[in-house]
Amino acid sequence: MPQDGSRDPIAGPDSGPAPPFPLRLNGKVIKGFGRGSSELGIPTANIPIDGLSVGGNKDLESGIYFGWAGLSTSDATNAHPPGTKGKYELMKADIYDDLTAKMQQHAAPDTSSSHGAVYPMVMSVGFNPYYNNTVRSVEVHIMHDFQVNFYETHMNLIVLGFIRGEADYTTKEALIDDIKTDIDVSGRSLGRREYLSFAKDPYLTEFSGRSEIAS
């Protein structure tokens, strides 16, 4: 998808998520292909794709989505409280500053260590054609600067909208540019009140007994 200025700067209606959203998914964070951090500079947290569906056995469409991620308590969440500014530089600074301020003002969830933490996220579902993957994967990029990994912790997701379909790329640079655009679109989209409110949804920090993805 070329970066020609034709992409919408925001996703989802201003009135709030439209069906089938919001979608509530969860799973244990597992190791993926390892390319996000090492090759692209955009780390992702993977969860198993088994059972990922909208309902009626219809698989979730491949593409890019935005929403909120809740992480169970770990060294990573304790070191990086939600809604605090860090060194995160993948989103344009003005969009990041605006979203962070709105999170602190309108959407600050319970940040006690016993309840985990909530962060903005952008999610990719699909085969990642650039890498010719033969299996679909769910890769979640949490829009926060983490220095500590959180493998084996649990992640709850509220998916609020669809940004775009899956695309192929001729260069790694084009892929990185489009992912950064996805991050900006997600940041703008989540900054609206009807989407901010979902950061306080109790589902995001309910981890007891959860071991598999559920829709």
The H-or-E segment that residue 186 falls in is helix 172-190
Indicate if 39 belongs to the active site: no
Whose tokens are 């500590």? That residue is 148
Which of 184, 186, 191, 180 has its CA nearest to residue 163? 186
Among residues 61, 89, 139, 166, the one annotated as catalytic is 139
The secondary structure of 157-172 as a DSSP string is EEEEEEEEE----SSH
Around 167, how many Cα atoms within 13 Å sit in the side-chain half-sphere? 18
The first and second tokens of residue 57, run together, are 């056995």
Report which residue type is found at 58.
K
Phi and psi at 97, nearest 5°, equal -60, -40
Catalytic site positions: 139
